[in-house]
Amino acid sequence: MKRKSAVIAYDISCNKRRGKVFKCLKKWRLDGQYSLFECLLSNKEAEELFLQLSALIDESEDALMLAWLDNNQQARAVTESGRIGFQMPALYLG
């Protein structure tokens, strides 16, 4: 199963829903800080994760995004704090 680098970000207005999404991502053992999570996922894993997350959010009020990162581009941190809590830099430039 080939895994690719991705970033999951969310903006959830309700504290209760935000807590549930955070707990779901932690169950997947994803590394993150606040509402941004860096992960390695296969396409099938990404689909399953989004099914689980979709059940927890209000699509009319909340935002949820998964961005696949280009594994051919070198990741660079813009600031030193970009590395806090992440195995790789939190901000990617391509």
Helix (H) or strand (E) holding 47: helix 43-54
Residue 44 lies in a domain: yes
**Position 1 pLDDT exceeds 80:** no
Q: Does some domain include residue 88?
A: no
Q: How far is CA 69 from the centre of its chain?
A: 11
Query: 21: domain range?
Result: 4-83
Q: What is the CA radius of gyration of the chain?
A: 13
**Structural domains in the chain (count):** 1
CATH of the domain at 18: 3.30.70.240
Stated pTM of the model: 0.67
Q: What is the pLDDT of residues 7-65, one digit of tens each?
A: 888 888 899 999 998 888 888 877 677 778 888 888 899 889 988 998 998 888 888 88
Q: Give residues with Cβ within 8 angstroms of 48, minimum separation 6.
A: none
Who contacts 20 (Cβ-Cβ below 8 Å, separation ≥6)? 56
Cα separation, 34 vs 72, in Å, equals 27
Residues in the chain: 94
- The answer to whether residue 50 sits within a structural domain is yes
Q: Quick check: is 29 in a domain?
A: yes
Q: Is residue 93 part of a domain?
A: no
